Amino acid sequence: MSDSKNQLSKIPSLEQIVKLPKVMLHDHLDGGLRPQTIIDIAREINYEKLPSYDANELATWFRAACDSGSLVEYLETFEHTISVMQTEEHIKRVAREAVLDLARDGVVWAELRGAPELFTRKGLTIDQVIEATLAGYQEGEKLAAAEGLFIKTGSILCAMRQNNLALEIAEEVVKYRDQGVVGFDIAGPEDGFPPTRQIEAFEYLRKENMPFTIHAGEAFGLPSIWEAIQLCGTQRVGHGVHIADDIDFSSNPPKLGRLAQYVRDRRIPLELCPTSNLQTGIAQDYFGHPINNLWKLGFTVTINTDNRLMSRTSLSNEIYQCVKAFNWDLATIQEIVINAMKNAFTSVEVQNHIIENIITKRFAEILNN
């Protein structure tokens, strides 16, 4: 037992982290395209607005364009990715490659999210978008299995909070709940578009016993988180990083405000995305990100990528940056991965199976090698 504890206290390298089983709860499909795929499709459809048609240069451009410190400017880069996802085949390709890329990074459970309304510019129906996405995920799982990799995926359907399609998308979530759709979300600009604008959708989902998460506390403050939890009834908070604003860190020990204490004590999961949060101005560097303080205070922390293309990142990299900034050991990583799996939008049977037979066993195997 002591040898096992000693091993878990070790600080892992990036190479070790890649091999670890990981769980992703917050990853946008249209924010994780391969640069070369964008170029390939752009040429195929005669889309001439890309800033570069070299894959490496394009990847660099996306990361630089998103390092503005503004969520609004960050979101503008999606025009390019959305433009190349307007046919069923292109959506399938992007979804298939996303699952395979995540599997190669060691992700064993992935909830990918996208807003179907964004991919209907060329005539696709909402149903066609959803079905193409789900087909792509299934193809990606099969390709991963052919490489000896285990991954299971779930689809979260987003509604754009500035539009008025939330109830329609919520109905689609329920319609496809047994075909791979696992939950609902609202995304887009927070300021001026509080989650309560879509309250009818959330009431419908609760009546239908369907889980949902809400982007809140990413670029806007505590009122957004409070509304998402207390008025809309969200089961998880997308980002939620501004909950740190309700904590007095100058006090010893830090003093939690009423909302922060409620979020912590009710174990409401925070879908934190460190690199993305830095890009939208939450802190100057990883060491200044509140994720470690929130973890130490007992919040239900999960770690995610948000948009792998825009942040030029992977889940392994997100964890590695926290390892470097906060000296996270293997025990911490394992606990955070299990935290995420316990709060995945799937059955307890699936959660327990993946925790016991995939995550715990794989950590043990890696420690013993």
Block means of pLDDT (10 residues each) for the chain, 369 residues, are 62 94 98 98 96 96 85 83 98 98 98 98 98 98 98 98 95 98 93 91 98 91 94 97 96 96 98 94 93 98 97 98 97 96 98 97 84
Given a contact cutoff of 8 angstroms between Cβ atoms, the answer to whether 167 and 125 are in contact is no
**pLDDT on residue 6:** 62
Beta-sheet pairing, 22-28 with 181-187: unpaired
**pLDDT on residue 191:** 79
Given a contact cutoff of 8 angstroms between Cβ atoms, the answer to whether 24 and 337 are in contact is no
**pLDDT on residue 1:** 46
Name the active-site residue from 141, 218, 227, 318: 218
* Cis amide prior to 211 (ω within 30 degrees): no
Give the C-alpha separation, 140 to 101, whole Å.
9
CA 59 vs. chain centroid, Å, equals 19
To the nearest 10°, report the CA torsion of 234, 109, 76, 211. -20
The residues near 43 (Cβ < 8 Å, ≥ 6 apart) are 53
**pLDDT on residue 3:** 55
> 151 — phi, psi (to 5°)?
-155, 140
**Residue 218: active-site member:** yes
